[in-house]
Amino acid sequence: MPRLLKAAIASCSSSFSRRALSSTIPLPAQPEASSSKLPSPPPPTESSESTPPARWSPFTQRTGLIAMKRGMTALWDEDGKRWPVTVLQVDRCQVIRHESPTGPEGKYTMQLGASDRPNVRRLHKNQINHFKSAGVHPKYHLKSFHVTKDALIPVGTEISAAHFVPGQYVDVIAKTIGKGFQGVMKRFGFRGQPATHGTTLSHRSAGAMGANQDPGRIWKGKKMPGRMGGKQRTTHNLLVHRVDKELNLIFVRGAVPGFDDAVISVRDAVRATKWKAENEFKRGKPDGEWLAEGVKTLPLPTVTVQQAASADWPAVMEWPGPGKA
């Protein structure tokens, strides 16, 4: 028998024996796929309890919150001055998931959800599993925030309104109230045409807006009639006047875009908090002078609902005013 034929027969018999052996002997069970849910933090030990809590720094970026705009009211300070404020309510805001950093800045993406859904029949199975993996009830609203590594919050944590400190500045992001198709007088504040001297049926028109034969067209971006409102806008540097930890309410001075009961995002002010703290740090000022007057530091990574309930804080915390903190 040729040598090549013998080798082929031997290889076929060995492979058949291996297949037969694998079919008769039960194989070990495969390990289950790892869940996307982050592991729960270990129980505190003596060494972890002795470790001091993390401190906020000018280069820390905390998460924001999802809140509901409940309307406007007025508050009076100790000097009797009236301040118009907007009431924001934090409704069951919980951490849903984390995403590892992908950009050059190295910041994590943290997804938050707010407002529990009483009925989950209209949710897709993938959406239900998304919340189930985080161990939270399905939510109506989801938003993502970029945070640094020291500001990460465990999945499933419910964040309190005490995440923001009275006296600090915040930015509010929301969609403005839609006004529909409007003319230039309402949309941009144009003066309009004269009321007399031959003006007929064009008192509120924009007037001439074209050029000569050169360029012979309308420049892009020209202020003309069009759809007004319904766009995402950011209101910067609003002062947190009062925080109610029991009702999860945040009172900010000034107006907030959006209609009543609108869903908004609240974050630490980029200009009056982050940039100011970085500039004061570079100038060599001490730790307690980085932020606004009366604000020594910010809670890191956050204040949970359980921490706010057990802490020896007043139910309503209010900023006393300049020179009184």
Question: Is the residue at 279 inside a domain?
Answer: yes
Encode burial over 160-188: b for 16+ CB neighbours within 10 A, e otherwise.
Answer: bbbbbbbbbbbbbbbbeeeeeeebbbebe
Identify which of 254, 283, 281 has the alpha carbon closest to the alpha carbon of residue 266: 254
pTM for the predicted model, two decimal places: 0.78
- Whether the pLDDT of residue 246 is over 50: the answer is yes
Tell me which of 50 and 223 has the higher pLDDT: 223
- pLDDT score recorded for residue 20: 37
Number of domains in the chain: 1
Mean pLDDT, range 112-135, rounded to an integer: 91
How does DSSP assign 159-181, residue by residue?
BPGGGS-TT-EEEEEEEPPP-EE
Mean pLDDT comparison of 48-52, 216-220, 261-265, highest-scoring range: 261-265
Identify which of 110, 109, 104, 73 has the alpha carbon closest to the alpha carbon of residue 88: 73
Query: Quick check: helix, strand or coil at residue 305?
Result: helix
Question: Is the residue at 65 inside a domain?
Answer: yes
Question: Is the residue at 20 inside a domain?
Answer: no
Write the CATH number for 67. Answer: 2.40.30.10
The DSSP 8-state label assigned to residue 149 in this structure reads G
Question: Is the residue at 87 inside a domain?
Answer: yes
- Measured in degrees and rounded to the nearest 5, phi and psi for residue 195 equal -80, -25
The pLDDT tens digits of the residues spanning 139-193 come to 999 999 999 999 999 999 999 999 999 999 999 999 999 999 999 999 999 999 9
Q: Which two tokens stand for residue 96?
A: 């849903």
Q: How far apart are the first and last CA of the chain?
A: 102
Mean pLDDT, range 195-215, rounded to an integer: 89
Which residues share a beta bridge with 84? 74
The pLDDT tens digits of the residues spanning 18-35 come to 433 333 334 334 334 333
What's the mean pLDDT when you consider all of the chain? 83
Question: Is the residue at 303 inside a domain?
Answer: yes
- pLDDT score recorded for residue 52: 52
**Helix extents (H) in 25-124:** 46-50
Question: Is the residue at 292 inside a domain?
Answer: yes
Domain holding 81, by residue range, is 53-91+159-180+227-318
- pLDDT score recorded for residue 321: 80
Question: Is the residue at 167 inside a domain?
Answer: yes
- pLDDT score recorded for residue 119: 87
Question: Is the residue at 246 inside a domain?
Answer: yes
- Whether the pLDDT of residue 11 is over 80: the answer is no
